[in-house]
Structure 1
Amino acid sequence: MNLFKSFSIALLSSLLLFFTSCEVDQETLNETTREQQDIPKDIIQKLEKAGFHTHEGLSKVEDGYVVEYDIFLTEEEIYELANQNIENNSKHYRTNNLVSGTRTIRVYVDPALGSFVRSATDQALQRYNAQNLRLTFSRTTNASSNDIRIMAASNTALDGSFASAGFPKNGRPHNLIRMNTSFYGGSNRLGNTVTVIAHEIGHCIGFRHTDYANRAFSGCPGGGNEGQGEYGAIHIPGTPTTFAVANSWMLACIGREVNRPFIASDRTALQRLYARTPPPVSPVPFYRFYNSSRVNHYYSTSRSTPGGYRYEGVQCKIYNQQVPGTVPLYRFYNSSAVNHFYQQSRSTPAGYRYEGVAGYVFRSGGNGRIPLYRYYNSSAVNHFYTTNRSEGNNAAGYTYEGVAGYVLR
């Protein structure tokens, strides 16, 4: 997502040996640092919580923010991503939102970008279509009826980046890719054009960077982790557990003449998310943690123990993707009372803030399903969830409040 900035000629000649995969203009970086001083602290904090790198490549645009040089997010999307808590510690990553259904995605190219970019777009779409996914890509000349628009943008508007895009929403791909006319269009013929377009389409359908854990892997100046390992990026099962593999099309940075067709693990990631026949979804552990000093129970599909909490084992199994018969189990948090609350209703209780979907549970009982009971201690202001009715009934000070949902052992 922080794809690609441009070195000045002087810097390029002196630093070529050190940064062969990512091109950055130092003057632009300095300007970016100055721009970030005007960005609200809560926006920066939420971006970091959602797993984004904010020390460079963050700028305010008219209707939102661009982060990591090439990802556009509205303020609403930033808040949504910050409230997700999903484990990720491996190579290929996706966002919490994907493109739904089997569909044809029509891609429009701004005529101002010229024939070379149109040809490169056709090649990028061919790369995706060769994977036989449930998403089919085609280029359209209809400027008013399309799913993704690839539009010309100035170097200033893109803060020196090669291109930018956003994430899917409501089951549809992000509808805009902006390409820098300082690099693309006119007589420009960069060797990375096909890969840049394929990369940005990757973001539009829900992919994060493969070198999420260490952007230095692809030569990004400053390197670093793009954020907390448990927020905003979900590991794609079946892909390598090393943090990055050379030549992936979703590496964070790239050189001007670098071309990255899909490698084996890229194809695995694409098939895992968008195969015509999706692989079966398996339940995952729902871990329980407890903060004794604050008297608060916390439950998550992530095994990572939050600060101040102790691990209390696997409470049950739920799903981290929706399957037939399941409904979301929403998580809320009351910071003044230090209490996490889980329920099937999206309606936020008074005094709480919404923290996203903790997982998916069954609405009713059935074969292999067991109740997840909810208890409440009004003195400690603590909700307690357990599949063991005896444990709940014997917990001093707790009152039974019913079944939060049905889960698996």
Structure 2
Amino acid sequence: MLTLLWGLSALVLCTSCSENNDQITEPNSVEQTAETPWSKSVPKNVIEAATKLDLNVDHLRYDTFYFPDGTSEERLFIEEDIVMTEQEILALAKFTDGRQYATNNLVSQGRNISIIGYTGFLYGLSSKERNALSMAVNNYNSLSGVSISFTLTFGTNYQNKDMVVYRNPFQFGSGGSAGFPNNGLPHKWVQIYGLSSYNVDVIEHVITHEIGHSVGFRHTDWFSRESCGQNTNEGDAGVGANHINGTPTGYDATSIMLSCFHSGVNGEFNSNDITALQAMY
């Protein structure tokens, strides 16, 4: 999920997908007690699977994941904005073979992805967030040389949709969360939270970023998390982090898939993001 960061001179957010620099605060840190689900120890086989997938196990915990119908379940939160079940992460690790960086798990080529912006009570998107979602979907649909496309609707009948974008009112901080594709399908659940005070471009950025995870993108700064002011390696083998030809192997300061984001983002792909999408799809 994205978390709020403070830089020396600019507000930064962490998407982990998130993006930016300098000092990082932990607005979503909570004292761990026996009653909090994220105090549960992560089993060794799950840690090993995450390591095989080149995910940062320093940012691996259990927490409560909320669905738009108000139900919830315990899931693994990885690098703050990637959310998976134990079964999903173990299954992905079985089929790894092994930077812009993609995973080994992609959506089927040529697929039209049905995506719905949820409008129901409590978890529904605001009018500004709905506008940002429309802009994010247009970011993908306007690209040439990309075989996947999106059909966007708004409402509450999400059960038969490939992807659902909704607001989580219970999450601390600001940002979003998603997961990786599986069996040729995009990850279904895309959450955003804590974005009401930000402009539409920032919200567009967060949604575009999380949709990126849902169709197979890793963080472009997986090797350093430099956009978050960190110097840690998320791993390179695995859903692995596979370098996409024609894109930088070093830090790409304007990529929409950086781990953290700041309040000055414009919500648009840069040229390397576009090259990556065209290579993947």
Secondary structure, counterpart of 2:57 in structure 1: coil
Specify the alignment match of 2:68 in structure 1: none
What is the correspondence of 1:380-395 to structure 2 with a 5 Å cutoff?
none
Counterpart of 1:261, as a letter, is E
Q: Which has the higher contact order (CA 8 A, sep 6+)?
A: 2
- Any idea what the Cα deviations from partners look like across 1:218-252, whole Å, max 9, x if unmatched? 1x14331113x222324244233523312111111
Change in CA separation of 1:36 and 1:168 when aligned onto 2, cut-off 3 Å: same
- Any idea what the Cα deviations from partners look like across 1:65-117, whole Å, max 9, x if unmatched? 12111111111121123334434xxx322222211142322221122221111
Instruction: Indicate which of 78, 93, 96 corresponds to 2:101.
Output: 93
Dislocated runs of 4+, deviation >6 Å: 32-35
Corresponding position: 1:16 with 2:3 = no
Corresponding position: 1:105 with 2:113 = yes
Counterpart of 2:181, as a letter, is P
Specify the alignment match of 2:28 in structure 1: 28
Alignment root-mean-square deviation, CA? 2.7
Corresponding position: 1:211 with 2:221 = yes
Change in CA separation of 1:57 and 1:4 when aligned onto 2, cut-off 3 Å: farther
Counterpart of 1:4, as a letter, is L
What is the correspondence of 1:307-318 to structure 2 with a 5 Å cutoff?
none
Contact 1:32 1:56 (8 Å CA) reproduced: no
Secondary structure, counterpart of 1:195 in structure 2: helix
Specify the alignment match of 2:3 in structure 1: 5
Specify the alignment match of 1:115 in structure 2: 127
Specify the alignment match of 1:76 in structure 2: 87
Structure showing greater radius of gyration is 1
Distance 2:3 2:8 in 1: 14
Counterpart of 2:43, as a letter, is K
Specify the alignment match of 1:175 in structure 2: 188
Specify the alignment match of 1:147 in structure 2: 162
Contact 2:132 2:200 (8 Å CA) reproduced: no
Secondary structure, counterpart of 2:257 in structure 1: coil
Identity %: 31
Distance 1:118 1:241 in 2: 32
Counterpart of 1:167, as a letter, is F
Give the strand-richer structure, 1 or 2.
1
Change in CA separation of 1:52 and 1:163 when aligned onto 2, cut-off 3 Å: same
Contact 1:4 1:255 (8 Å CA) reproduced: no
- Any idea what the Cα deviations from partners look like across 1:187-227, whole Å, max 9, x if unmatched? 653541111111111111111111111112x1x14331113
Contact 1:125 1:198 (8 Å CA) reproduced: yes
Q: CA deviation at 1:176?
A: 1.1
Specify the alignment match of 1:269 in structure 2: 276
Contact 1:70 1:161 (8 Å CA) reproduced: no
Specify the alignment match of 1:41 in structure 2: 43
Secondary structure, counterpart of 1:254 in structure 2: strand
Q: CA deviation at 1:146?
A: 2.2
Corresponding position: 1:53 with 2:42 = no
Counterpart of 1:50, as a letter, is L
Contact 2:225 2:231 (8 Å CA) reproduced: yes
Distance 2:63 2:41 in 1: 7
Instruction: Indicate which of 225, 231, 253 corresponds to 1:223.
Output: 231
Change in CA separation of 1:267 and 1:32 when aligned onto 2, cut-off 3 Å: farther
Counterpart of 2:154, as a letter, is T
Contact 2:132 2:203 (8 Å CA) reproduced: yes
Q: Which runs of 5+ in 2 are unaligned?
A: 13-18, 65-72
What is the correspondence of 1:179-328 to structure 2 with a 5 Å cutoff?
179-180=192-193, 182-184=194-196, 189=199, 191-216=201-226, 218=227, 220-227=228-235, 229-274=236-281
Distance 1:36 1:222 in 2: 23
Distance 2:192 2:86 in 1: 22
Distance 2:266 2:135 in 1: 12
User: What is the TM-score when the length of structure 1 is the normalising length?
Assistant: 0.56
- Any idea what the Cα deviations from partners look like across 1:148-197, whole Å, max 9, x if unmatched? 111111243xx5351111111111111110111x323xx65354111111
Counterpart of 2:128, as a letter, is F
Secondary structure, counterpart of 1:141 in structure 2: strand
Distance 2:230 2:204 in 1: 26
- Any idea what the Cα deviations from partners look like across 1:31-80, whole Å, max 9, x if unmatched? 48996542323223322232111323633332421211111111112112
Change in CA separation of 1:95 and 1:168 when aligned onto 2, cut-off 3 Å: same
Distance 1:164 1:60 in 2: 13
Counterpart of 2:142, as a letter, is A
Change in CA separation of 1:235 and 1:86 when aligned onto 2, cut-off 3 Å: same
